[in-house]
Structure 1
Amino acid sequence: MTYLLLIIGFVLLIKGADFFVDGASKIAQTLHVSPLLIGLTVVAFGTSSPEATVSIVSALEGNAGVAMGNVVGSNIFNITIVVGITALLNPLQVENETIRKEIPFAMLASVALLILISDITLQSMGANYITRGDGFVLLLFFAVFLYYIFEVARKSRDKAKQEQTNTGEKPLWTKNIILTVGGLLAIIFGGELVVTNATEIALLFGMSETLVGLTIVAIGTSLPELITSITAAIKKQSEIALGNIIGSNIFNVFFVLGSASIISPLAVENKLVLDVLIMIVMTILLLIFSRTHFKVGKLEGVILAVFYILYMIYIIIRN
C-alpha cells in the first residue's frame, strides 16, 4: 500500500505540475510576457512546485534530510539529466543575457547555499544548519531575483505584445484559472503523499533521509522540469527549455530552502556539503558549455548525462 501511495503521489505531482504550467503559461501569454520570462518564472516556478511542496512539508514534519537532499539532488538532476537529454534532442541555443546574468545568478544561489551550510568550517560550530536567519537571507536574494525579472519584463513587454496581438484569439480565463488552481492543489496533495511514503520506505530499507531526498524524491519531483524542457526542445523553444531549468534551480535554493528553513531550521549532514560543491561544479560546467558558440550541443548533453550517472553511483556507494 505504501508503494502504491508513493506512485499516486508522483502521478499527482507530475500531472498537477503539467496542468499548473499549462494554465499559468497561457495566462502569462495573455498578459504579453516574453518566452524567456515565461521560462524563468511561470514555467520554472510551476515545475518547481513539487520541490517546494515536498521540502516545505518535510520541514513541517521534521525531515530535514529529505528537504535538503530534495533541493540539491533536483538541481544536480536539472543541470545534468534535464539539460543533457534536452540538448540531445535539440541543441539548446543560449541567449547572451542568459550567459551574463541568469546562469551566474544560479551560480550565486549555489555558492550562497554552500556558505550558509558551512557552519562547522566557518564558525567552528558543532553542526551545520540552515537557520531561520539564513532562510531570510535566501528569501532576500529571491526578492532581488524577482526585481531583476520585473525589469526584464518591463523591457520586453512591448515587443512581446506586438508579436501576440496579431493572433486574434480570445483568452480562456476561466479554463486557465481552473487548470492553474487545480494543478496546484494536486501538487500539494501529491507532495504530502511522496514525503510520507518515501520516508517510510527509506526506514524499511535502512536508507538515510538525505539519500532518499537526493535520489527517489529529487528525481520524482524533477520529472516536471524534464517533461517540460523536452517538450520545449521538440518545439524548438530553447528559451523556455533553458529558462525553465535555470529558473527552477534559482527558485529551489532561494525560495524553497528559504521558506522551509523559516518554518523549521534545517540540520545539514556533513556529507551534503560535497553534494553542494558538485552542484556548483555542474553549474560552472553549464556556463562553460553555454559560452561555446552560444549553445549546448549534443556532445555537451552526453557529457552532462554521464556526469549524473557517475554521481548516482557515487552517492549510492557513499550511503
Structure 2
Amino acid sequence: MGYILLIVGFVLLIKGADLFVDGSSNIARSFQVSPLLIGLTIVALGTSSPEATVSIIAALEENAGVALGNVVGSNILNITLVAGVAAIIYPLKVESETIRKEIPFTLLASFALLILISDVFLQTVSENLLTRGDGFIIMLFFAIFLYYIFEVARNSRDKVKSETKVKSTWGKNVLYTIGGLVGIIFGGELVVKNATNIASSFGMSDTLIGLTVVAIGTSLPELITSITAALKKESEIALGNIVGSNIFNILFVLGITAVIHPLTVNSKIIVDIIIMIILTGTLLIFSRTNYKIGKFEGAFLVVVYIIYMIFIILRN
C-alpha cells in the first residue's frame, strides 16, 4: 500500500507543479510583476510547504535530526540537482538583481545558521543547540528579506508594463495556482510519509533519512516545479524558485521550527552546512558567467550531488 501511495504522491506533485507554474506566471504578468519575483515568493513559499510541515512535526516529536537534515539536505539538493537538471533542460537566465542580492542573501542566511548552531566551538558548552532565541533571530532575518521582496515588487511594476497581457482570465489563473499548490502540498506529504516508512524498514538512521529520503521527498516540489518551468522556458521562475526556496527553508522553516521547539544539533550536520555554503558560493560564481547557468554548469552540479549522496551514505 505504501508503494501505491508513493506513486499517487508523485502524480499529484507533477500535475500540481504544472498547474502552479502556469497560474503563478500568468498572475505575475497580469499584476505587472516580474517572473523572477513570483518565483522568489509565491512559488518558493508553495514548494517550501512540505519542508515546513515535516520539520515542525519532527521538532515537536523531538527528532532534531530529521528537522535539520530535511532543511540542509533540501537546500543542497536544490542548489545541485534541481538547478543542474533545470539548466540542462534550458539554460537559466540570471538577472543582475539575483546576482547582487538574492544569491548573496542565501549565503548570508547560511553563514548565520552556521554561527547560531556552533555553540560548542564558540561558547565551549557541551552541545550545539538551535534555541528559541536563535529562532527569533532567524525570523528577523526573514522579515528583512520580506521587506526587500516588497520593495522589489513595487519597483518591478514599471519594468514589465510593456509585456503582453495574458489571454486567460484572472480567476482561472488563481484557480490553477491554488489547485496546483494543493496538489504539491498533499503530493509532497504522501511521498515523504511513505518514502520514510519504506526507508525505515531498511534500517536507515534518522539523520540519514533526514538528509536523503526526507530531503529528496520535500524537495520534489522544487524539482518538478523548476523542471516544468525550464520546459516552458520560464527560466526566471525556475531560478527564483530555487533561490527563494533555500532562503525560505533556512529563515522561515528553521526559524519557526526553532521558535516552536528548540533543536539539539548533531555535530555531523555542521559539515553539511559548510558544504551547503560552498555550493551556494559555487552557484554564485556560475551565475556570473554570461549571466546564465548553462548546460555544462548544470551537468557539473548534478555530478556534485551524486558525489555528496555517496559521501553521506558512507559517513552514516
- Asked if TM exceeds 0.5, the reply is yes
Q: Is the 8 A contact 1:107 1:283 kept in 2?
A: yes
Please identify, of 271-280 and 233-242, the stretch whose mean Cα deviation from structure 2 is larger: 233-242
1:221-279 CA distances to partner (integer Å, 9 max, x unpaired)?
Answer: 21222222223223333322211111111111000111111121122211011000000
1:115 aligns to what?
115
1:285 — aligned with what? 282
| 2:101 counterpart residue number | 101
- After superposition, the C-alpha distances for 1:26-67 in whole angstroms (9 at most, x for unaligned) are 434332211111121122222222222222232233322212
Conserved in 2, the CA contact under 8 Å of 1:17 and 1:46? Answer: no
**Does the 8 Å contact 1:77/1:222 carry over to 2?**
yes
- The one-letter code of the counterpart of 2:165 is T
Shift of 1:10: 5.1
Partner of 1:167: 165
The question of 1:265 aligning with 2:262 is answered yes
Residues 1:248 and 2:245 aligned together:
yes
Deviates more, 1:255-264 or 1:230-239: 230-239
CA 1:290 to 1:52, structure 2 compared with 1: closer, same or farther past 3 Å? same
Question: Retained in 2: the 8 A contact 1:82–1:225?
Answer: yes
**What is the count of residue pairs matched by the alignment?**
316
Residue 53 of structure 1 contacts residue 188 of structure 1 at CA under 8 Å; is this kept in 2?
Answer: no
Aligned-CA RMSD value: 2.3
Residue 157 of structure 2 aligns to a residue whose secondary structure is helix
Q: 2-side partners of 1:35 and 1:229: how far apart?
A: 13
Question: Given that residues 21 and 46 in structure 1 are in contact (C-alpha distance below 8 angstroms), is that contact kept between their aligned partners in structure 2?
Answer: no
The list of structure 1 runs, each at least 4 consecutive aligned residues, that deviate by more than 6 angstroms after superposition, is none
- Equivalent-residue separation in structure 2 for 1:224 and 1:60 (angstroms): 24
Question: How much identity, in percent, do the aligned residues show?
Answer: 68
Query: Aligned to 2:311, which of 296, 314, 317?
Result: 314
Report matched runs for 1:38-187 at 5 Å: 38-160=38-160, 162-164=161-163, 166-167=164-165, 169=167, 171-173=169-171, 175-187=172-184
Question: One-letter code of the match for 2:52?
Answer: A
1:191-215: CA deviations, max 9, x gaps? 5545554554444333221211111
Structure-2 change in CA distance of 1:16 and 1:295 (3 Å): closer
| Per-residue Cα deviation, 1:66-101 (whole angstroms, up to 9, x for no partner) | 121111111101111111122222222222221111
Q: Aligned in 2, Cα 1:196/1:80: closer, same or farther, shift over 3 Å?
A: closer
Q: Flag the 1:190–1:225 CA change in 2: closer, same or farther, 3 A.
A: closer
1:160-217 superposed Cα distances (whole Å, 9 cap, x missing partner): 2x234x53736332x4444444444455545554555455444433322121111111
> CA offsets, 1:265-315, max 9 Å, x none?
122211011000000000111111112222222222222111111100000
The alpha carbon displacement at 1:218 in A equals 1.1
Shift in Å at residue 147 of structure 1? Answer: 0.9
Name 2:302's counterpart in structure 1: 305
How far off is 1:115 after superposition? 0.9
How many angstroms apart in 2 are the aligned matches of 1:290 and 1:6? Answer: 35
Distance 2:7 2:283 in 1: 32
Structure 2 vs 1, CA of residues 39 and 186 (structure 1 numbering), >3 Å: closer, same or farther? closer
Structure 2 letter corresponding to 1:91: P
Q: Which secondary structure does the structure 2 equivalent of 1:109 belong to?
A: helix
Who is 2:214 aligned against? 217
CA–CA separation in structure 2 for the residues paired with 1:187 and 1:60: 23
The answer for unaligned runs of 5 or more in structure 1 is none
Distance between the aligned counterparts of 2:271 and 2:166, measured in 1?
52
The one-letter code sitting in structure 2 at the alignment partner of 1:107 is: L
- The answer (yes or no) to whether the contact 1:134–1:258 under 8 Å persists in 2 is yes
Give yes or no for contact 1:53–1:187 (8 Å, CA) kept in 2: no
For 1:16-55, list aligned pairs within 5 A.
16-55=16-55
Secondary structure in structure 1 of the residue aligned to 2:125? coil
In 2, Cα distance between equivalents of 1:198 and 1:269: 23
Determine if contact 1:66/1:209 at 8 Å carries over to the other structure.
Answer: yes
- Change over 3 Å in CA distance of 1:167–1:15 after alignment to 2: closer
